Amino acid sequence: MPLPFDLLADPTRRRILGLLLRRPYLVGEMAHELEMSQPRVSKHLRVLRDAGLVTVRAEAQRRWYVLRPEPLADLDAWLAPYRRLWTERLDALERHLETMPDTPMERSRHAAEES
């Protein structure tokens, strides 16, 4: 089974997951939204389904595709230490910019205080 990083490296799959983040979709709806052929979208959905990122719910003749967030939780847990690193560095940059005279940040802060 491919790793989530391998699956998410494909921009089409990321776009599909982005759609499914909003609500369940039919293949035809996704094809329309993504401006792609239905067989091409179905191919990507099959890969996502096989990896457990997506499930299918049958209603009569319709097949609704639904995002499964659980596998993404593992990915999120793996990214957590890197997110902390980014946050620490962004906080350090903010502190540095606050010490600089006449920065856009300082001007906007002064404008907000004057209003």
pLDDT of residue 71: 84
pLDDT of residue 75: 81
Listed as ranges, residues in the chain with pLDDT below 70 are: 1-4, 101-107, 109-111, 114-115
pLDDT of residue 12: 95
What CATH class does 4-68 carry? mainly alpha
Burial class of residue 67 (count of CB atoms within 10 Å of its CB; 0-12, 13-18, 19+): buried
Question: How is residue 13 written in tokens?
Answer: 């799959």
pLDDT of residue 115: 63
pLDDT of residue 7: 81
pLDDT of residue 84: 81
